[in-house]
Amino acid sequence: GAGVSQSPSNKVTEKGKDVELRCDPISGHTALYWYRQSLGQGLEFLIYFQGNSAPDKSGLPSDRFSAERTGGSVSTLTIQRTQQEDSAVYLCASSPGPWLAGANSYEQYFGPGTRLTVT
Amino acid sequence: AQTVTQSQPEMSVQEAETVTLSCTYDTSENNYYLFWYKQPPSRQMILVIRQEAYKQQNATENRFSVNFQKAAKSFSLKISDSQLGDTAMYFCAFIDASGGSYIPTFGRGTSLIVHP
C-alpha cells in the first residue's frame, strides 16, 4: 500500500511569509508525528496527534507554529511569519496506534520530508 | 524523562566487515520498545530492527542484529557483511509502552560510512 507522503517536497519562501506543510499518513494509522531535522542533526519532536487530538504540543518551538489533523488522516503544519532559523527538513511519521499489541504498533513510518528554505 | 545516547557521531567500516553501533538509554519504566532507524543520504528514514524490552532474545533481521542488555540499558546494533548501501545515519529510538507518552525519544544519530 501507499506509504506516508508529504507535500511539497521542497519549499523556498521569503522571511515573514506563512507556509503550510502537508502530511498524508498511512491509511488506518491513528498516530501522527511531526519532527524537524536541521542539516546533519537529529530529530526534534514538534507535535503528536492521536486521531484528531494533539495530546502533546510541547515541542512546538514558538506560537508561530501550529498543526491540525482532520478526519483522523491528513495533517497540516503551519508556520507563520517564517524566520531563517525555521529552515530545516520537516518530517512526518505515522504509526498504527498504541492499543495494538507489540512493538509494531509503535513503529514509525516516515515520509520523505519537506525541505523548507527561508530566504 | 527518558534519554537516548549514541556516543559515536561517526563510524566507518570496510565493505564486508562487521561494525557495531552503540546506544544507551535511561528509563525507570519496565515496559518499552527499542528501535534502530536508518536514514540513507537524501532518502527516507526506515526501520531497521525493533526489540521488545520483555523479550530476552536479541532481535535479528538478516545482516542486522542487536545486543540488548536490559540491566545495562544498552541496545547496540551489529551490521554484518557491511554493504555500500548501509551508508546512512542510524538513529536509536526508545518508546515507553507503559501507557504514558507515546512519543519516541531519538538519539542524535551515528553517521556510518561503508568504504569499498
What is the rounded average pLDDT for all residues in chain A?
92
Which pLDDT tens digit goes with each residue over A90-116? Answer: 999 999 876 666 667 789 999 999 999
Q: What span, in angstroms and rounded, lies between the C-alpha atoms of A17 and B97?
A: 40
Q: How far off is chain A from B33, nearest CA to CA, in Å?
A: 6
Q: A102 contacts in B (CB within 8 Å)?
A: 52
- Among B50, B97, B106, the residue with its CB nearest the CB of A42 is B106
CA B69 to chain A, closest CA, distance in angstroms equals 18
- Of all residues in chain B, the percent with pLDDT exceeding 70 is 98
A100: Cβ–Cβ under 8 A, 6 or more apart, which residues?
Answer: none
Greater confidence (A104 vs A22) lies with A22
Residue among A9, A38, A43 with most chain B CBs within 10 A, to mutate: A43
Mean pLDDT of all residues in B25-43:
92
Count of residues in chain B: 116
How many angstroms separate the Cα of A25 from the Cα of each of A7, A33, A109, B79?
12, 10, 8, 30
User: Is pLDDT at A69 greater than 90 in this prediction?
Assistant: yes
